[in-house]
Amino acid sequence: MPNGLDAFAKGGRFHKGNLHTHSTRSDGARDPADVCAFYRDAGYDFLCLSDHFLSRYGWPVTDTRPHRTNRFTTILGAEVHAGRNSQGEVWHILAVGLPDDFAPTERGETGEALAARANAGGAFVGIAHPQWSSLTLEDGRAMAPHAHAVELYNTSSAFETARGDGVAFHDMLLNDGHTHLTGYATDDAHFKIADHGRAWIMVKADTSEADVLVEAMREGLSYSSTGPSLHAVALDGDDLVVEASEVGFMAAVGRGSRVATANAGAYGANFSAARLSTAPFRGDWCRVVAVAHDGSTAWTNPIFL
Half-sphere exposure of 137 (CA within 13 A, CB side): 9
At residue 266, the pLDDT reads 72
Is residue 267's pLDDT more than 90? no
Please give the C-alpha separations between residue 134 and each of 28, 161, 171, 196, 197, in angstroms, as whole numbers.
23, 12, 15, 23, 25
Half-sphere exposure of 170 (CA within 13 A, CB side): 30
Whole-angstrom Cα distance, residue 258 to residue 179?
17
At residue 72, the pLDDT reads 98
Whole-angstrom Cα distance, residue 160 to residue 61?
25
Average per-residue pLDDT in the chain? Answer: 97
Q: Tens digits of per-residue pLDDT, 73-128?
A: 999 999 999 999 999 999 999 999 999 999 999 999 999 999 999 999 999 999 99
Give the closest residue to 146 by CA, choosing from 77, 74, 86, 218: 218
Least confident of 47-56, 154-163, 170-179, 260-269: 260-269
pLDDT, mean of residues 235-257: 97
At residue 227, the pLDDT reads 98
pLDDT, mean of residues 129-150: 98
Q: What is the pTM of this model?
A: 0.97
SS3 for 78?
strand
At residue 264, the pLDDT reads 83
At residue 265, the pLDDT reads 78
pLDDT, mean of residues 1-25: 97
Q: Are strands 46-49 and 13-18 parallel, antiparallel or unpaired?
A: parallel
CB 217 within 8 A of CB 96: yes
Whole-angstrom Cα distance, residue 153 to residue 299?
10
CA 287 distance to own-chain centroid = 14
Whole-angstrom Cα distance, residue 77 to residue 191?
18
Domains located in the chain, CATH noted:
6-222 (3.20.20.140), 230-304 (2.60.40)
Whole-angstrom Cα distance, residue 61 to residue 53?
7
Q: What are phi and psi of 120, to 5 degrees?
A: -65, -25
List the helix and strand counts (H, then E) for the chain.
Answer: 7, 18
Is residue 212's pLDDT more than 90? yes
SS3 for 134?
coil
At residue 299, the pLDDT reads 99
